[in-house]
Amino acid sequence: MLTNILILFPLIFALLVRIVPKNLVWSFSLGASFLQIIVTALAIFNFMDSASHPSLYSTFPWIQSIGAKWSVAIDGLSIVLVGLISLLLPLVLVVRRNAIDEVHNLHSLIWWMAGAMYGVFMAKDGLLFYTFWEFSLIPIYFICLKWGDRDKIKTTLKFFLYTLAGSLAMLAALIYLYLNGSGSWDIQDLYQAGASLDVTAQQWVFWGLFLAFAIKIPIIPFHNWQPDTYSSAPLQGTLLLSTLMGKMGLWGLLKWLVPMTPLAFTINQNGLVILCVVSVVYASVMALRQDELKRLLAWSSMAHVSLMAAGIFVWNISGIEGAMQQMFNHGIITLGLFYCAALIINKTGETKISSLGGLRAQLPAFAGFFIWIIMASIGLPLTSGFPGEFSLLNALFQYQPLLAAIAGLSTILGAVYMLRAYHHMMHGMSKYNVHDIHQNNKALLAVGSLLILIFGLGPTLLTIVFESTLLDFFTPFSKLQ
């Protein structure tokens, strides 16, 4: 029951918010987002009480002629990402509260996208998973197209075509599995159908799925859409893309790609890990070269998610545990970074790092929050960025020490480009006459900073939720490592 509520309530809110008076849209959305948090908390409580609680599962016929079902469930892995959506949703809704016209349309699209993302992380039916996956593309396309900045039409079209191409490749792979063995869209039946295929057939299915997930993450060479889209998108769009949509691709690798095509994965594993490590270093080097703030953060985000992908492809407990931790914590940290970037740009009207300076003297409270979030981004101990990144590098070390050493360069490079950018913007002579941030901004940054501290001091708050599910999920596929 709770699974259906989590998916359907946002879709209902997407309709209701369009008829709410304009001056009440923000209050309505904020209240609805807190309702989602309450439902998510109930789901977590029920899961901790019993992993087989009836409220965590829902299955009934959907398209009976082809055996497709509405089959959704919450387990220890999916609940981490469901919790991330619910936690970040009110923060995404309230940023730049009065800065955008047609607030009805914007909030409707955000709710639409939230419902689709809940569905992606809970779907246990292949066709349903694809439906939610594709459903999430439509609202973010219109958000970027309607409220984006420079070259928004060209940039948004490139993003749409990239992701659509990947989605169609994934659909073709799932249809092939359905027609060649499973006769069912159930995820467990698709696992068995994929494993029963010969190596050549598995390779085709593997690369069809991989293309969709690699584009969404993204991993090189499927990344060209990301920096432009992150720079052009409005703040709400950038937050949705950076904090949540990339996690859909990582989820696809973990729950759909590897278990569904075990032989193909074993053949390609070493090359995939190397590709992800190259992607980590490449994105870090590109971040070093950036002078535009949002593009720097886009490349930084790509470096972090590529490391998560490497941890999944290593396919050991440490790697998957680190990836799950980092997916959650990266969402919080990245939201904070892009929010800080938006505040700087709004205050000064400047996007180039080299043109800024001296903001610390005029924005003392902001400067304190900003440096704390940066420290989390570069993985400082006692911040939430440290435990997951350490686990990921440890997993890589177990797999191949040289690859761990190369990937570890991203930590050093991350410290260089993030601290250098902070120094340019915050220190030196002041170039702008600005006032410190509003109390509402301070409250949002305080919430994010507190979450960074809580999950830095207590990483077991996450692992205690998913560790038993992870062991149950990983054990049948442990020989793939």
pLDDT in tens, 79-103: 999 999 999 998 888 776 555 667 7
Q: How far is CA 383 from CA 281, 295, 334, 368, in A?
A: 22, 24, 13, 15
Burial class of 436 by CB neighbour count within 10 A (0 to 12, 13 to 18, 19+): middle
Close Cβ partners of 351 (under 8 Å, ≥ 6 residues apart): 292, 293, 294, 345
**Between 23 and 425, the higher pLDDT residue:** 425
Q: Examine residue 399 and state whether it is found in any structural domain, yes or no.
A: yes
407-452 pLDDT per residue, tens: 998 889 999 999 999 998 888 777 777 777 788 888 889 999 999 9
Q: Is residue 233 part of a domain?
A: no
Q: What is the CA radius of gyration of the chain?
A: 21
Which whole number is the average pLDDT over 245-264? 93
| Average predicted confidence (pLDDT) for the chain | 89
Q: How far apart are CA 240 and CA 237, in angstroms?
A: 5
96 torsion bin: left (phi>0), alpha (psi -120 to 50), beta (else) = left
Token pair of 88 as six digits: 């970040």
Domain count, the chain: 1
Query: For the packed helices 317-348 and 439-457, what is the interaxial angle rounded to 10 degrees?
Result: 160
Contact 399, 314 (CB under 8 A): yes
Distance CA 59, CA 86 (A): 23
Q: Which residues contact 95 (CB under 8 A, 6 or more apart)?
A: 235, 236, 239, 339, 342, 444
Return the percentage of the chain with pLDDT > 90, whole number.
54
Task: Write out the residue range of the structural domain in which residue 448 sits.
Answer: 268-481
Domain contains 61: no
Write down the pTM of the prediction. Answer: 0.94
What confidence score (pLDDT) does residue 481 get?
61
Q: Determine, yes or no, domain membership for 63.
A: no
pLDDT of residue 20: 86
Burial of 216 (0-12, 13-18, 19+ CB in 10 A): buried
* 191 within some domain: no
CB within 8 A of 204, min separation 6: which ones?
173, 176
User: pLDDT at position 99, please?
Assistant: 55
Mean pLDDT of 182-191: 86
Burial 380-405 (b: 16+ CB within 10 A, else e): beebbbbbbbbbbbbbbbebbeebbe
